[in-house]
Structures are given as structure tokens and as C-alpha cells.
């Protein structure tokens, strides 16, 4: 069996085998003329032997072609000449007729033989061509079934090789960049050195490179031919075969080449070449289609992967968890290892997630990360991607790269080698121009290299992840802001936020209330430096005029990178109280000093030798008693105010004869003032209030005292008590004077502790500023209220309203009092 038969066991020959063919031709050439001779002797007339011999020669030629025809012609002529050409039973070509017969016999033998041979050759060729076409069709059908590039390669190197009747075949594909040819499959090249011939350049001086460059087939019939055309291959192994390189072209592009090896003596006729080229064209179309299919499938896979990843990223605002899940999703679909690193707030690199199908390896990776913490200044890797915001793409990790990356650290190099890293992609997570982190995909055990498409997919994934992280952070920030805003709304202090240029960014309700309304119109009134520009102390108290009133604002500020937060507090009241308090100390000291000085003076006078004690003694003692009383009153006021502050003076409510109390007070006062003022009292008959009588006496006494004190020019002080119109459950008591009056803005203040109006306004009258405070507190505790109406210089009316009581329940009957005392 020859090599061809190995490749093509069915064989390609048609018709009978050669030796049997020759035997039958010889038999026909001998037997048919012999039979004709016998036939001519028995039943044919003398004229017909020639015709019969000619038929016999034709028959023999039809069976055995020209050689058989010529042999039959020779045998026929011998028979014809001996038996039928006169003289019978003798040899010799003597007559012209014999010569004619001889020529005719040989012409018929040669002519018919030639015709038959030609016809048979044509038929055989047609059959071979038909068989080839059928085989090529079978290859086309098998290619039609092939879905992947690998399946196409398998079909070309099995059915295809057989169809082309080749001994061996090899397919090389041009790289994406168009610079190299990579051997992707071979069959029959058993001793091919793949390290040497697995990949070579399109520009190399090699047969397949030439085919790819020119797009034309290259036929190499012998080693000499090869060495002559490709000197670089001279001296290579003995070439005992014919080599054919065919371009794999599709739609004008050469995507690679098909190399076929044939037996040395193979002839490459037109048909054979056409078949090989057809095979190459089919292979190219099949590969292109498979590539397209694979690209389509890969695109579909990518899309569905991205959709899945997007769904995952959108599933929660806890981006740390979703990114960890994303890393898990990437292995082993996109990578054998996936890592996600984030930029921490202090700029350091924080590893958020590492994923690998083997948990032990993940632990190992964490250990490694601890032993070799990331260097933020590293020229390559995650640090570089985070610094530059540019992706890093290592389609194949070379030994040199590893050596350089590990910077001579043999141990680390050993570890990295052991991990078997093949390729890596690191892409930045960028949102709104900021690099938030990096996603690394690493090919090791199952994936062997990365392509541009993988990089694009990683970039797409990183974009989505970055948007998700950014959204989650924005949401957290806005939640935080909302919580802060809610808290700010609740607090009583006014808070104002300004940017670095002093523009208002935010303020709370308290600020709006303090600074004149919704858009803080009064903000502009603050001295400039308090609003953010310039330097000033952290806390200042500044005056500001609001609605014609001076208010004092305490302004604290805290600066931060985007601006400044101001906290404002209205301290007007506090300042006033503070002032009032210090004034009180002065006043109280002065008030206490006056009676003390008087008593002291009296004692000194009484001790003198030059006075007559009997004569002046009583007068002095009375004076001393009065001053002591005044001292006691002041101290009582101070004590009571203290008790009221503490909230616990004893109050006992009972039905009181208000008329009686007023009458007593008016009587006592009238006798004391010696007619400097006119005192009147008018009380509705049979009224009673529910109160603590001692406290009511104190309140009214104080009001009457003030009415006299603050009417330095005399006049009438009238005390009245009655039901106000239509309110039977209330008794209203009024103390009216014609004195200096109280300016309207001060009217509310005078009921506060220690508040005394301007001494000039009060005409230099002494006091502690406690009387009205005590009065208000006592009235409130008796469930009543006190108020004033007054005009400056036009006298004042102090009004006390208390709950009415049933007059009939009083133990002592009421006297009707309405007259002057």
C-alpha cells in the first residue's frame, strides 16, 4: 500500500486493475480473430471474411484498446492470409489485395483502440473529478455543521485533507495586529517543532509567510526548489514530499494559510489545484463564520454578564457588599482572580475584595497583601492605575515582566511564579472625573490570555461599578446631610453655612427667625468679617439693628474646606440681665447703704456728750426704727426673690376681702406720706377674690408704693377694685397714678428681676428692681395676671386680675368702702 492509500483508503482508481486489463486485452486480441477464422470456414461465403476480421479487430480493440487492436490485426492478417487469401493454405503477402487488407486491419486496430482509449480516459477523468467534487461537497457539508473555530479546524484537517488527497496539513492564522502567524492546528506533521514553528512573522522569508503576504499559493516540489526560493530554510530536513501553501482568504482579507503535504511525485493539474483552492476558500469562509459566531456569542455573553452585573450593582446601596459580590461574579467567567481596591479618604489603597474559586487561595492572597502592602508610588499595577486613572493591560505576562515587577525579590518572584499568572487587566473605577478605585482581572489557571475585547468589557464593568459606588456614596452623603439638616432644624441656635466666597449656602429656621425672614435680609448687616471674609476670633458678640431695635448676637464660627459654619445666638436678653444684675449690685448696695448710714449716724449722735438725749432721743430712735424697717424690707425682698427663683414660696389661697385689704393699705400709706399725694380707693361692694391675703397685700402695697415713688410731683393715686364688664368670675384691681409714666418699649421689661429704668427716667428714686418681679410672680402663683398701661409723663395704670371668690363665704361681713380715707 502506498502513502496515498493510507490517506485515502477507498482508493481513487476506476475500472479494472491493470494486470487483469492486459490479460483480457491479449485474450480478446487472440481469441476473437481465432473464432472469426472458425466462423468463416463453416458458414460464411468467400467474400465476407474480411468484414468479419475487421469486426473482430474492432471488438478486440474495444476491449483492449490500441495494443489489443494491433495484436488482433496481426493475428487476423495471419489467419486471413493463410486461410482466405489465394493461394489458400500458404503464407505470403503477394497480392495488392493482401496489402490493402493488412493496412485496413492495422488502421482499424489502431484507430478503434485509440478511440476507445481516449473515451475511457475521458470517462475516468470525469469519474475522478466527480469523486473529488463529491468529497469537496462532503467537506463543505461538514464545515456547514461546524460552529466553533476548533470544529472548523478539525473538519479541514480530517475530511479536508482526505478530499485533497494530502498526507498532512497545517493551519496558521494571522494575529489581530496582522504581524504574526500562529499555527493553530496541524495533522500529520508529526515531528513539527512547535517552539520553533508555532509562531513566526508575516514578514519572514518562509513559504507560508509569502502566501499570506501575496495571497497566492506557493508550490514546493523538492528540497532543492525550497532551498533555492527560501535560502533561510536551506539545510533543513530532507524534503521527500511536495508542499503546497494556500492562502485562507475571505472577502478580500487573508486571515491565514493552509499548508498541505503531498507525496513527492504528485502532479498538480488544473483540477487538483482548483480543488485545493476550493478547499482553502471553504476553510477560510468556515473560519470566518466561526469567528463571527464566536464573536457574536462572546458579545451576547458579555452583554448578559454586564446586565447581571448591573442588576447586582443596583441591588443595594451598600457598595462594599455589592463590589465583593461583583468580584465573585467575575470568577471564573472573566478571570481566575479578581481584586477590587479602593482609594481611602486619606489617599491610601484599601483592598475591598479578592475572589478566586478556591477559598484557600483567597486566604493566601490576603496573607500576601499583608506581607507585601501596596506601594502607592509603584510604577505599575493598581497604584499606577489609581494615580493615573489609566487602565493597565497585560495580554500576556512574560517572565521578564515578572522579574522586573518583583524588583529582584526572589521569594516574591517564586510566589508569583507559583501562582502561574498568564495575563492581567487593571481598570480604574472613575466617576465624575474622580478615580475611586481599581478592578483587577487576572488570568491564571483556566484563562491563558486576554484580548482587546476583554479589556473593553472590563472597562465597561468598571464604569458601571464606579457609577454604583458614586451613587451609593452620594446617597449616603445626602442622607447624612438630610439628617444634619433635620438636626439643625431642631436646634434652637441659628446656624448659617457660607461658602469660601462668603455666599450663603444653608441656614436653619432659627437663623431665618433671627435674621429677619426667609432669605436672611439681616445677614448683610453683620460686620463683614463675621460673615466669613477675613480673619477674626472664633467667637464674637456684635450688635446689629433689627426692626429699629438693637440686638446683640454672639457669633461662633467653624471653618471647613468648603466654607464656614456660623452659629448665632441672640444674647440681648442675657446682656441686659447681666447689665441689670451689675446695676442691681450697685443699686442694692446703695439702697442698703442709705438706711445703714442713717442708723449709724443716729447711734453716733446719741453717743455724743454734747446733746441732750432726753430731748432728741425719741425722735432719733423713731428715725432709726424707720430706717431699720426699710433695711428689713429690702432684705425681705431679696429673700423672697430668691425663694421665687427657687420656685417655692408658700402660697395659701383662700377667699379674701379685697376691699378690706385695699382700705388698710390706703389708710396706712396715707398716714405715712403726710399729704404729699392724694390717695383714693373705690371698691365694688360685696366682692371677694381667691388669693393669699398676705401676698395680695404685698403686691398692692408695692404698686401703691411705686405709684407714689414715681409721682415725684404729687397728684392722685387711685386704687379701684371691681368686676370687669361681663366677667363675673374675675376681680380687677387697678392702681393709677399721675406720675412719670413708663415708655412703651420698657413696659414688658419692668416685670423682670432687677430691672430698673434709667435713673434719669425714674427721677433718681431709689429701689432694687425687685418689686414688680415679686408682684408678677406672686400674682401668677395666685392664678391671676398683672399688666401695665402707661405713657411717658402721663401716669401709669397697673392692673391685677384675680379669680373672684364667693363673698358670702367670708367669715367677717364686708364693709362697703368707696369713700376717700
Footprint on this chain of ligand ADP (rule: CB under 6 A): 706-707, 710, 737, 739-742, 750, 755-757, 762, 767-773, 796
Q: Pick between residue 563 and residue 767 the one whose CB is nearest to ligand ADP.
A: 767
Distances (CA, A) of 265 to 3, 9, 217, 278: 11, 19, 19, 22
CB of 741 to ligand ADP, least distance (A): 6
DSSP 165-185: T-SEEEEEEE-TTSSEEEEEE
Q: Pick between residue 329 and residue 717 the one whose CB is nearest to ligand ADP.
A: 717
Q: Which position has the grid cell 533555492?
A: 228
CB of 560 to ligand ADP, least distance (A): 47
Q: Which position has the grid cell 495575563?
A: 423
Q: Pick between residue 184 and residue 797 the one whose CB is nearest to ligand ADP.
A: 797
Degrees to nearest 5, angle at CA 726 with 722 and 732: 25
Distances (CA, A) of 512 to 243, 402, 544, 562: 94, 65, 15, 22
- Integer Cα distance of 716 and 708 in angstroms: 9
Q: Which position's Cβ is nearest ligand ADP? A: 767
- Integer Cα distance of 243 and 261 in angstroms: 5
Residues 6+ apart with CB under 8 A from 254: 174, 212, 215, 247, 248
CB of 598 to ligand ADP, least distance (A): 18
Q: How many residues does the chain have?
A: 821
Q: Pick between residue 515 and residue 707 the one whose CB is nearest to ligand ADP.
A: 707
3-state secondary structure of 275: helix
CB of 627 to ligand ADP, least distance (A): 17
Peptide bond into 588 cis (omega under 30): no
CB of 769 to ligand ADP, least distance (A): 5
Q: Pick between residue 523 and residue 710 the one whose CB is nearest to ligand ADP.
A: 710
CB of 763 to ligand ADP, least distance (A): 9
Query: If we measure between CA atoms, which residue out of 299, 302, 297, 308 comes closest to residue 465?
Result: 308
Q: Pick between residue 136 and residue 800 the one whose CB is nearest to ligand ADP.
A: 800
227: burial class by Cβ within 10 Å (0-12, 13-18, 19+)?
middle
Q: Pick between residue 198 and residue 766 the one whose CB is nearest to ligand ADP.
A: 766
Query: If we measure between CA atoms, which residue out of 694, 707, 692 comes closest to residue 780?
Result: 692
Q: Pick between residue 555 and residue 755 the one whose CB is nearest to ligand ADP.
A: 755
Q: Pick between residue 113 and residue 771 the one whose CB is nearest to ligand ADP.
A: 771
- Integer Cα distance of 267 and 276 in angstroms: 13
- Is residue 104 within 8 Å of 152, Cβ to Cβ? no
CB of 793 to ligand ADP, least distance (A): 10
CB of 817 to ligand ADP, least distance (A): 23
- Integer Cα distance of 270 and 272 in angstroms: 6
- Integer Cα distance of 668 and 663 in angstroms: 9
- Integer Cα distance of 238 and 49 in angstroms: 63
- Is residue 502 within 8 Å of 485, Cβ to Cβ? no
Q: Pick between residue 132 and residue 736 the one whose CB is nearest to ligand ADP.
A: 736
Residue 326: all three cell numbers together = 461583583
Q: Pick between residue 37 and residue 706 the one whose CB is nearest to ligand ADP.
A: 706
Q: Pick between residue 356 and residue 756 the one whose CB is nearest to ligand ADP.
A: 756
CB of 643 to ligand ADP, least distance (A): 16
CB of 682 to ligand ADP, least distance (A): 18
Q: Pick between residue 322 and residue 768 the one whose CB is nearest to ligand ADP.
A: 768
CB of 768 to ligand ADP, least distance (A): 5
CB of 732 to ligand ADP, least distance (A): 17
Residues 6+ apart with CB under 8 A from 480: none
Q: Pick between residue 391 and residue 649 the one whose CB is nearest to ligand ADP.
A: 649
CB of 645 to ligand ADP, least distance (A): 15
DSSP 513-542: HHTTSTT-GGGGGS-GGGGTSS---SEEEE
Query: If we measure between CA atoms, which residue out of 523, 557, 552 comes closest to residue 539?
Result: 557
Q: Pick between residue 627 and residue 737 the one whose CB is nearest to ligand ADP.
A: 737
Q: Pick between residue 302 and residue 796 the one whose CB is nearest to ligand ADP.
A: 796
CB of 630 to ligand ADP, least distance (A): 12
CB of 638 to ligand ADP, least distance (A): 11
Packing angle, helices 693-709 and 658-673, rounded to 10: 40
User: Residue 37: in which H helix or E strand, if any?
Assistant: helix 18-43
Tell me the backbone φ, ψ of residue 568, rounded to 5 degrees. -115, 140
CB of 532 to ligand ADP, least distance (A): 42
Q: Pick between residue 55 and residue 765 the one whose CB is nearest to ligand ADP.
A: 765
CB of 551 to ligand ADP, least distance (A): 22
Q: Pick between residue 248 and residue 762 the one whose CB is nearest to ligand ADP.
A: 762
Distances (CA, A) of 33 to 20, 39, 55, 62, 628: 20, 10, 9, 14, 185
* DSSP secondary structure code for residue 158 in this structure: I
CB of 675 to ligand ADP, least distance (A): 19
623: burial class by Cβ within 10 Å (0-12, 13-18, 19+)?
middle
* DSSP secondary structure code for residue 9 in this structure: T
- Integer Cα distance of 220 and 262 in angstroms: 10
- What is the strand order of the sheet 392-394 is part of? 349-355, 337-343, 434-443, 423-431, 392-394
Degrees to nearest 5, angle at CA 350 with 344 and 354: 145
Amino acid at each position: 500500500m502506498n502513502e496515498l492509500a493510507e490517506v485515502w483508503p477507498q482508493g481513487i482508481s476506476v475500472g479494472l486493475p491493470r494486470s487483469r486489463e492486459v490479460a483480457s486485452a491479449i485474450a480478446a486480441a487472440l481469441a476473437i480473430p481465432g473464432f472469426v477464422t472458425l466462423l468463416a470456414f463453416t458458414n460464411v461465403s468467400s467474400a465476407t471474411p474480411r468484414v468479419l476480421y475487421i469486426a473482430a479487430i474492432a471488438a478486440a480493440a474495444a476491449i483492449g484498446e490500441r495494443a489489443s487492436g494491433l495484436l488482433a490485426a496481426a493475428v487476423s492478417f495471419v489467419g486471413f492470409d493463410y486461410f482466405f487469401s489465394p493461394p489458400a493454405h500458404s503464407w505470403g503477402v503477394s497480392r495488392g489485395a493482401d496489402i490493402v487488407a493488412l493496412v485496413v486491419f492495422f488502421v482499424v486496430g489502431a484507430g478503434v483502440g485509440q478511440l476507445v482509449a481516449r473515451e475511457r480516459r475521458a470517462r475516468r477523468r470525469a469519474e475522478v473529478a466527480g469523486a473529488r467534487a463529491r468529497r469537496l461537497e462532503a467537506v463543505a457539508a461538514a464545515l456547514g455543521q461546524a460552529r466553533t473555530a476548533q470544529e472548523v479546524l478539525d473538519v479541514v484537517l480530517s475530511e479536508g485533507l482526505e478530499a485533497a488527497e494530502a498526507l498532512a496539513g497545517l493551519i496558521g492564522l494571522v494575529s489581530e495586529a496582522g504581524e504574526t502567524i500562529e499555527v493553530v492546528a496541524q495533522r500529520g506533521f508529526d515531528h513539527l517543532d512547535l517552539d520553533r514553528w508555532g509562531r513566526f512573522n508575516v514578514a519572514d522569508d518562509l513559504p507560508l509567510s509569502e502566501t499570506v503576504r501575496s495571497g497566492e499559493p506557493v508550490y514546493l516540489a523538492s528540497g532543492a526548489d525550497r532551498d533555492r526560493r527560501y535560502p533561510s530554510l536551506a539545510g533543513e530536513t530532507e524534503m521527500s514530499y511536495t508542499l503546497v501553501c494556500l492562502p485562507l482568504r475571505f472577502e478580500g482579507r487573508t486571515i491565514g494559510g493552509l499548508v498541505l503535504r503531498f507525496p513527492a511525485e504528485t502532479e498538480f493539474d488544473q483540477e487538483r489545484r482548483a480543488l485545493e483552492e476550493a478547499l482553502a476558500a471553504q476553510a477560510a469562509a468556515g473560519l470566518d463564520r466561526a469567528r463571527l459566531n464566536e464573536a457574536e456569542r462572546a458579545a451576547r455573553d458579555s452583554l448578559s454578564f454586564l446586565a447581571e452585573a448591573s442588576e447586582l450593582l443596583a441591588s443595594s446601596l451598600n457598595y462594599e457588599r455589592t463590589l465583593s459580590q461583583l468580584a465573585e461574579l467575575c470568577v471564573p467567567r472573566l478571570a481566575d482572580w479578581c481584586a477590587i481596591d479602593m482609594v481611602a479618604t486619606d489617599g491610601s489603597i484599601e483592598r475591598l475584595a479578592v475572589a478566586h474559586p478556591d477559598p484557600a487561595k483567597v486566604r493566601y492572597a490576603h496573607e500576601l497583601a499583608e506581607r507585601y502592602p501596596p506601594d502607592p508610588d509603584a510604577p505599575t499595577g493598581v497604584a499606577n492605575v489609581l494615580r493615573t486613572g489609566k487602565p493597565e493591560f497585560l495580554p500576556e505576562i512574560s517572565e521578564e515582566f515578572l522579574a522586573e515587577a518583583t524588583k529582584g525579590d526572589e521569594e516574591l518572584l517564586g510566589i508569583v511564579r507559583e501562582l502561574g499568572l498568564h495575563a492581567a487587566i487593571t481598570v480604574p473605577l472613575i466617576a465624575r472625573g474622580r478615580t475611586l478605585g481599581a478592578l483587577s482581572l487576572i488570568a491564571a489557571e483556566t484563562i491563558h490570555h486576554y484580548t482587546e475585547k476583554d479589556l473593553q468589557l472590563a472597562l465597561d464593568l468598571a464604569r458601571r461599578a464606579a457609577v454604583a459606588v458614586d451613587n451609593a456614596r452620594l446617597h449616603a452623603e445626602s442622607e447624612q446631610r438630610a439628617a444634619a439638616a433635620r438636626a439643625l432644624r431642631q436646634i434652637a441656635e441659628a446656624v448659617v453655612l457660607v461658602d469660601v466666597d462668603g455666599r450663603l449656602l444653608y441656614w436653619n429656621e432659627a437663623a431665618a427667625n433671627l435674621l429677619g425672614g426667609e432669605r436672611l435680609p439681616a445677614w448683610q448687616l453683620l460686620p463683614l468679617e463675621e460673615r466669613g471674609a477675613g480673619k477674626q476670633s472664633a467667637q464674637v458678640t456684635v450688635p446689629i439693628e433689627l426692626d429699629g431695635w438693637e440686638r446683640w448676637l454672639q457669633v461662633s464660627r467653624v471653618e471647613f474646606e468648603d466654607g464656614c459654619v456660623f452659629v448665632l445666638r441672640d444674647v440681648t436678653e442675657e446682656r441686659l440681665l447681666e447689665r441689670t444684675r451689675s446695676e442691681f449690685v450697685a443699686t442694692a448696695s446703695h439702697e442698703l447703704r442709705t438706711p445703714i448710714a442713717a442708723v449709724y449716724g443716729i447711734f453716733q449722735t446719741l453717743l455724743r456728750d454734747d446733746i441732750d438725749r432726753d430731748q432728741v432721743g425719741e425722735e432719733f430712735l423713731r428715725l432709726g426704727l424707720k430706717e431699720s424697717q426699710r433695711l428689713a424690707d429690702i432684705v425681705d425682698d431679696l429673700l423672697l426673690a430668691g425663694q421665687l427663683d427657687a420656685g417655692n414660696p408658700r402660697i395659701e389661697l383662700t377667699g379674701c376681702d379685697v376691699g378690706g385689704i385695699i382700705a388698710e393699705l390706703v389708710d396706712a400709706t396715707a398716714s405715712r406720706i403726710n399729704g404729699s399725694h392724694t390717695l383714693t380707693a373705690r371698691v365694688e361692694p360685696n366682692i371677694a377674690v381667691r388669693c393669699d391675703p398676705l401676698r395680695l397685700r404685698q403686691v398692692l402695697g408695692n404698686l401703691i408704693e411705686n405709684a407714689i415713688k414715681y409721682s415725684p410731683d404729687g397728684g392722685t393715686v387711685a386704687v379701684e377694685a371691681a368686676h370687669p364688664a361681663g366677667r363675673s368670675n374675675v376681680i380687677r384691681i387697678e392702681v393709677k397714678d399721675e406720675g412719670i409714666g413708663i415708655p412703651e418699649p420698657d413696659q414688658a421689661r419692668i416685670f423682670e428681676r432687677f430691672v430698673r429704668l434709667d435713673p434719669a427716667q425714674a427721677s433718681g428714686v431709689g429701689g432694687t428692681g425687685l418689686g414688680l418681679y415679686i408682684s408678677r410672680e406672686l400674682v401668677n402663683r395666685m392664678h391671676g395676671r398683672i399688666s401695665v398701661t402707661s405713657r411717658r409723663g402721663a401716669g401709669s395704670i397697673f392692673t391685677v386680675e384675680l379669680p373672684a371668690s364667693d363673698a358670702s363665704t367670708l367669715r367677717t361681713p364686708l364693709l362697703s368702702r368707696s369713700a376717700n380715707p
